[in-house]
Amino acid sequence: MEKVKIALLGLGNVGSGVWKIFNTNKNEVSRRSGCEVEIAKVLVRDKFKQRKVDVPPDMLTTNPDDIFKDESIKIVAELIGGIDPAKEYILRAMRSKKHVVTANKMLLATSGEELFKTAEEEDVYFYYEASVGGGIPIIREINESLTANKIMEIVGILNGTTNYILSKMSKEHMDFKAALDEAKEKGYAEADPTSDIEGYDPVYKLAIIASLSFGAKITVDDIYREGITKITPLDIKYACKFGYTIKLLSIGKVCPDGIELRVHPTMIPKAHPLSNVNDSFNAIYINGNAVGELMLYGKGAGDLPTGSAVVSDIISILRNNGSQYICTSLKNHMPHKKIKPLKENISQYYIRLSVIDMPGVLGEISTILGRNNVSILTVTQDVKSKHDVSLIFITHEAKEGDMQKSIDNIKKLTCINKVESIIRIENFNE
Amino acid sequence: MEKVKIALLGLGNVGSGVWKIFNTNKNEVSRRSGCEVEIAKVLVRDKFKQRKVDVPPDMLTTNPDDIFKDESIKIVAELIGGIDPAKEYILRAMRSKKHVVTANKMLLATSGEELFKTAEEEDVYFYYEASVGGGIPIIREINESLTANKIMEIVGILNGTTNYILSKMSKEHMDFKAALDEAKEKGYAEADPTSDIEGYDPVYKLAIIASLSFGAKITVDDIYREGITKITPLDIKYACKFGYTIKLLSIGKVCPDGIELRVHPTMIPKAHPLSNVNDSFNAIYINGNAVGELMLYGKGAGDLPTGSAVVSDIISILRNNGSQYICTSLKNHMPHKKIKPLKENISQYYIRLSVIDMPGVLGEISTILGRNNVSILTVTQDVKSKHDVSLIFITHEAKEGDMQKSIDNIKKLTCINKVESIIRIENFNE
């Protein structure tokens, strides 16, 4: 059996998972790849740091040259994350004629074009299944399994941290802060959770899968982004009352007037399969014009699930040696397509206002909404005191721009204490 | 752009779907495959039959030689189904150095080894994504996306017809016959529904995916099979009462004492994701030792979903030209592994008996169960008349052999009218 040497860049969470898998599943890896894979070197910043896995000390190195200048190393797995030095390392690896596997969503979403161009020039493989959805094989699904389809819609729960927080808030009636603290405690949220809770992480992921699904250059700037920090237990309570669950969805849709791209908290019907995706699980719902509705569900993060994607990519490279995968390259050669401006999006809305109880309040608000073509489906009133009445509107479908204009005007009314929340509702009816 | 000629064998449901996709998604197919694909010939039995799609008459042929002797045709899609003449045609196509795509689960499950051996000898591709799960890309998932894993468990709802019938029985309280009639009317069940309702169809499918998942030669005879014809509205009512849904599951599990393989109606907890897979949808739940729990959900049948898998396979062949996929071959080179005998399986059971109301009945039955190591979790009694009392037992986990022995003894009791139902319960707790 052919022996192949590989190297890992980084030995954090994902790196440790990859190490464990190669050790635990040695037989599966050989059977599936037809090769005996040896991890020859692991690049780390500190050779003496305490690790979760027992890597022989002579395998660790702090010098990238030990990897890039070693011609016997055929594949490099970049598991450092972030832009710097990950990008430089990937480019160096490619220019040293090494195939590259990465889990780096941020780098792919922001520098994908350059990386794929280099991979093509150097004629090396560049695989990235682990960059979106952890262990869920969404990249291969789009790039290989659904190639017969025009993908019309892709809707994902792509961030495990926020899904954990929202699940806790829904099921245990916690507030955001308490749920975030618990997520940190359990290792689901990082010390600085901004990238997750403000929705940057799912934006990177959506940029990658939307680009592949729709065959278009899509950058992070094309995607509307809104995090979950403003979601309150009260909104969750009302969502439940109206038959909805609140999820942080990443939405990409092909519309006649352009591609819709947005990441924001969304109310979805309790009966929809995405509504039952709880805790740190991820799921991706796809609608293809041949395959119809399809959903993938699994662990979107964690050392072993993400490692599963990295190691499977390495096996694919070993197995496909000699063949060329076209179309798996991100953005490179992809055309720009029209992105639909957010204000053109059509959606139902949940609007919660705090108002002062005085005659004509509902009339004034309804008039403004009506004048802006936003028609009301239901109104619910909840009186806390004469000076603080909650008014909850569910609208019919309306244009985002019209809704925003209404809100701007509603804010100016003297009876309004505050516009507490605006949450989009997705009903998935075609 | 390179032009490639392909041929279809059969223009029934799936054949029509493939035809439609090539016509509707011409641009996607070119973009993804890098080729211009032309359907050159379509083999049919009757050139003059009314069809669902408008295929130019000169493209139709009743003579297989028009395809197998035409060297310009590179890929053949076998969409006839069944063994004869599909098998002969596939072998002829391979021997004529044509790549083959098939949707034929029965043929793969029964003659897979021979077909893969021939493909290997002739050095042609042989793809079969459409054979299991219709549009759900389960084959590629096992063969390529989860290669880093030791797959421990695979549990599927693999038959849309029976899932439609069970969904109707559960949600609309129909009896089996009425639900079957409706399924026939809607085109979900065939005129002779035996293969579906008796569980032959999911057995073929389980043989294929279990073989690939566990890397073992698995034949249909290795799989225990039980259909859904004996499920009554009463069983569904009790299942619901105890927090379960009844599904026809296809189960493959790696156990220390062999591989468990069985297709039978199963009670599963309502909270499990498989429980919410309704109507004609299929789903496959996989547990891999790295990726953890994963589920795929989608349309398991129908012209376009199945066509999506066939066309995506054709695109993969066009794109991978020159590479070799190892391990995708079914059974060929795979070792025999120990199959766990059914009587060794451990499960909870739901047992419904019709008994005569006389003193000591429960004691007699409980004694027999206890003597055979079957311990009772709950007993429910439902009195219709003095001569017909329903006794419903839910047992703790017990060996199938012990349960069967108990039932053989219980049957002999004078107080027993009938053993109405025995349904296994799957709790998915590891």
pLDDT, tens digit (0-9, with 9 covering 90-100), for B175-219: 999 999 999 999 888 899 999 999 999 999 999 999 999 999 999
Which of B28, B145, B327, B337 should be substituted to probe chain A, the one whose Cβ sees the most A Cβ atoms within 10 Å? B145
Calculate mean pLDDT across residues A193-219.
96
Q: Which one has a higher pLDDT value, A143 or B68?
A: B68
| Predicted local confidence at residue A330, as pLDDT | 54
- Tell me whether residues B327 and A319 touch, CB distance under 8 A: yes
Buried b (16+ CB within 10 A) or exposed e, B245-282: bbbbbbbbbbeeeebbbbbbbbbbbeebbbbbbbebbb
The single residue of A74, A87, A168, A205 carrying the catalytic annotation is: A205
Q: Which one has a higher pLDDT value, A358 or B69?
A: B69
pTM: 0.94
C-alpha torsion angle, residues A316, A320, A325, A331 (rounded to 10): 30
B114-149 tens-digit pLDDT:
999 999 899 999 999 999 999 999 999 999 899 999
Backbone φ, ψ for residue B45 (5° rounding): -85, -35
CA distance A249 to A251: 6
Model confidence band, residue A332 (pLDDT cutoffs 50, 70, 90) = low
Lowest mean pLDDT among A322-326, B9-13, B328-332, B369-373: A322-326
Cβ–Cβ contacts within 10 Å for residue B416, how many? 17
Calculate mean pLDDT across residues A255-268.
97
| Predicted local confidence at residue B322, as pLDDT | 45
- Tell me whether residues B290 and A305 touch, CB distance under 8 A: yes
CA distance B328 to A125: 21
| Predicted local confidence at residue B53, as pLDDT | 95
Is the predicted pLDDT of residue B327 greater than 90, yes or no? Answer: no
Given phi > 0 = left and psi -120 to 50 = alpha, else beta, which region is A134?
Answer: left
| Predicted local confidence at residue A322, as pLDDT | 45
Calculate mean pLDDT across residues A220-232.
97
Please tell me which residue of chain A has the smallest CA distance to B290: A304
Calculate mean pLDDT across residues A31-41.
92
C-alpha torsion angle, residues B342, B348, B352, B355 (rounded to 10): 90
**Are B208 and B105 contacting, i.e. CB atoms less than 8 angstroms apart?**
yes
CA distance A416 to B6: 67
End-to-end CA distance of chain B: 52
Pairing mode, strands A281-288 and A258-269: unpaired
Percent of chain A at pLDDT above 70?
97
| Predicted local confidence at residue B31, as pLDDT | 87
Please tell me which residue of chain A has the smallest CA distance to B17: A290
| Predicted local confidence at residue B311, as pLDDT | 97
| Predicted local confidence at residue A331, as pLDDT | 53
Given phi > 0 = left and psi -120 to 50 = alpha, else beta, which region is A330?
Answer: beta
| Predicted local confidence at residue B326, as pLDDT | 40
Is the predicted pLDDT of residue B256 greater than 50, yes or no? Answer: yes
Residue found under tokens 């809607």: B186
- How many CB pairs (< 8 A) connect A and B? 213
Residue found under tokens 């993969």: B316
CA distance A135 to A73: 25
Is the predicted pLDDT of residue A421 greater than 80, yes or no? Answer: yes
The residue among A104, A119, A28 whose CA lies nearest residue A306 is A104
Calculate mean pLDDT across residues B88-102.
97
CA distance B77 to B131: 12
In single-letter form, the type of residue at position A220 comes to V
Q: Work out the minimum CA distance from B31 to partner chain A, whole angstroms.
A: 8
Q: Work out the minimum CA distance from B56 to partner chain A, whole angstroms.
A: 22
| Predicted local confidence at residue B187, as pLDDT | 86
Output the CA torsion sign for B311, B317, B320, B326. Answer: positive
Q: Work out the minimum CA distance from B281 to partner chain A, whole angstroms.
A: 9
Is the predicted pLDDT of residue A430 greater than 70, yes or no? Answer: no
A114-154 tens-digit pLDDT:
999 999 899 999 999 999 999 999 999 999 899 999 999 99
Contacts of A21 in chain B (CB under 8 A): 148, 290
